[in-house]
Structure 1
Amino acid sequence: MNKKQIGFLAAAMMGTLALGTSAFAEEGSYKIGFSFYNLSNAVWAELVEEAVAYGSEVGCEVTYVDCGEDAQKQISQIENFIMSDCDAIVILPIDATAVENVVQEALDAGIRVVSYSTDFEGAETNLALDPDATGQALVDMAAPFIDEKYPDGKFTWVFENIPSIELGVLEGDAVEAAMAEKYPEAELLGSQEVLSLEEGVSVTENFMQAHPDNRVILGISSGVGVGGNEAIKTAVSEDEWDDYLLFSVDATEQECQNILNGEPLKGSIGLGGGKEHAHLLVDVCIDLLEGEEVERYTPLPPTAVTADTVEEYIANTYGE
């Protein structure tokens, strides 16, 4: 049976490629492949695992792969999805331009293609954060804490960003611009990439050694909120945790727990969480395959999660 031809959105991380014959052998059952460029990020790892579980609940076979930040490997993995008769593919690309040709191959084969986070030519729908809004939200969340500790606006800070991907560059630029506008007398001591927990630990340790008097750290991944938090906890005594103003993006369950426990992480910007993203992506794939109209862009609105709101956010997002 030929594949239904309709539009698609973008996606998240990790696993093996177990693929067979066309999912259209059974009405309403589809094969969906997730190709992510890095599954060391906690949100993306949670996303792909939940996509498999949720897909099974709604009658879909979901598989996922991690290309390890290798663009050529990602292209080969997407080609494998095409040859394995996937009905839809969700892609978080390491290089948006590099995947354009293989995406066109998928579209030519009648496969629906969705982009997650980083958009690219040929994607039929995109699920992603708004980098400007998210960057501004991070600074707005941090501001009350900074203002209380540094009422004259004179302080140093370091930035743990993600310059290796386009969306990370845009979000990082938004953070730096918002900080410069709100705190013109603050000094940015340096920036370095942090995506994974391990990077969060090592980069934060390095910053603390290089700038022992610095107390303000902003980052745009859960690697900062988890790894950076652990680095600070290891380096200083508990009675010094309150002196550190650490802020991140993602508001994973672990980040929320760190905030709830009164640890160095003072706030994190929530974007819905990996589980919610997984449901959105699987649902949009099904909608496209069944001829439903789908918006070209679905933004993820930022939510500030601090000690005042963390319990409510955990209950609403993680069901606890």
Structure 2
Amino acid sequence: MRTKKAFHWSIVLVLVSVGLLSGCGQIGAGSNGDGIVIGAAMPVFDDKWLSYLYDAINQYDKEHDDVEVSMVDAKNDSSKQLEQVEKFIVQGVDAIVITPVDTSAVEPMVNAAKQANIPVVVVNRMPDEDVLAKLDAYVGSESIEGGIKQMEEVEKLLEGKGNVAIMTGELGHESQIKRTEGNQEVVKKNPEMKVVREGTAKYQRAEGIRLMENWIQSGTKIDAVVANNDEMAIGAISALKAAGKLDDTIVAGIDGTPDALEYIQSGELEVSVFQDPVGQGEGAIETAVKLAQGEKLEDKMVWVPYELITKENVEEYVQKWEEYNQ
């Protein structure tokens, strides 16, 4: 791990390099001196949902000859992502798009880019208010809205009463905090609903299986499992099926992934909330290009709304994913 002193000198070296590059007329003209160059610092390429966001950015790149996107994989390592952003700064990109590995670690990246006068767009994972104030734009969906929509539908299915288990994502992530907060807001309004279990399955299907197995073994009566994402919800479904308890338990997820839609079609997953990765990817790259061209944004917060998915409207989202995959 870097010491504060080492980090300080790394930033100094980056900014000195940037100064040298600007003296050569490269800053603001893209690293190839022709057209707009966008640096895209992504957390991990091996993520199914995020892959659609990446595809949308890359598709924009293919369709616009005057735009070049340099996309890099931090492999879920915040220090590696910082180094990648530093490299973008040295290269003199015209704007930087970041989906942070960890929102609590994104501020040094933003500070370094801003000192080099490079606009920054954060997409999908919202940092805290202090960092938001420094950004040129944030593109994403309001996580608390997703949690509220999800639990409101569960409330209807439970008719306002029952024991709920909340399966949370990676602790400390903005989506984990806000989606759970939205869930709890709805439960508080219903005195006959009670959260009896809450634990993290780190957004992973295998962890969802493990956590659900533990809850089943505890003997706690659970009427609904509400998960921060679809992968954990699918994990919970697997464990509930193996224990013969799925028919008595409502399961809800968030994201509206293609896998989740199959479970909704079969009736095993009752609820998901669509978070549009293509909409977020398109919004991020379009916003970054506008900033690179010196355009003033009407609003630095670019929202892509969540949409409730149930068995009644699932075919609409199946078709949407088919279009995305064409």
Q: Shorter-normalised TM-score: what interval? A: 0.7 to 0.9
Q: What secondary structure sits across from 1:65 in the alignment? A: strand
Moved more, 104-113 or 275-284: 104-113
TM-score normalised according to structure 1 size: 0.80
Partner of 2:156: 144
Q: How many residues were matched structurally?
A: 292
Partners of 1:175 and 1:111 lie apart in 2 by: 37
Q: Among 194, 199, 204, which residue is 2:212 paired with?
A: 204
Amino acid at match of 1:210: S
Q: Note if contact 1:41-1:196 (Cα within 8 Å) is conserved in structure 2.
A: no
Partner of 1:296: 300
Amino acid at match of 1:143: E
Moved more, 112-121 or 242-251: 112-121
Q: CA deviation at 1:278?
A: 1.5
TM-score normalised according to structure 2 size: 0.78
Q: Structure 1 stretches of 5 or more lacking a match?
A: 6-20
Amino acid at match of 1:217: V
Are 1:45 and 2:51 matched, yes or no?
yes
Q: Among 221, 228, 233, which residue is 1:220 paired with?
A: 228
Which has the higher relative contact order, 1 or 2, with Cα contacts under 8 A spaced 6 or more apart? 1
1:49-70, Cα deviation, whole Å (9 max, x unpaired): 3322332222333343343443
Are 1:86 and 2:93 matched, yes or no?
yes
Q: Among 139, 142, 151, which residue is 1:130 paired with?
A: 142
Q: CA deviation at 1:218?
A: 0.3
The 5 Å alignment of 1:153-302 reads 153=161, 155-162=162-169, 163-211=171-219, 213-233=221-241, 235-236=242-243, 241-262=246-267, 264-272=268-276, 274-294=277-297, 295-302=299-306
Change (3 A) 1:124 1:187: closer
Q: Among 16, 22, 37, which residue is 2:31 paired with?
A: 22
Q: Structure 2 stretches of 5 or more lacking a match?
A: 1-24
1:238-281, Cα deviation, whole Å (9 max, x unpaired): xx64433110111112111221122x211101122x22221221
Partners of 1:185 and 1:144 lie apart in 2 by: 11
Amino acid at match of 2:91: S
Q: What secondary structure sits across from 1:102 in the alignment? A: helix
Q: CA deviation at 1:72?
A: 2.2
Change (3 A) 1:201 1:296: same
Change (3 A) 1:185 1:281: closer
The 5 Å alignment of 1:90-129 reads 90-116=97-123, 117-119=125-127, 120-121=131-132, 122-129=134-141
Q: Which has the larger radius of gyration?
A: 2
Q: CA deviation at 1:212?
A: 6.6
Amino acid at match of 1:291: G
Q: CA deviation at 1:183?
A: 4.2
Q: What secondary structure sits across from 1:319 in the alignment? A: helix
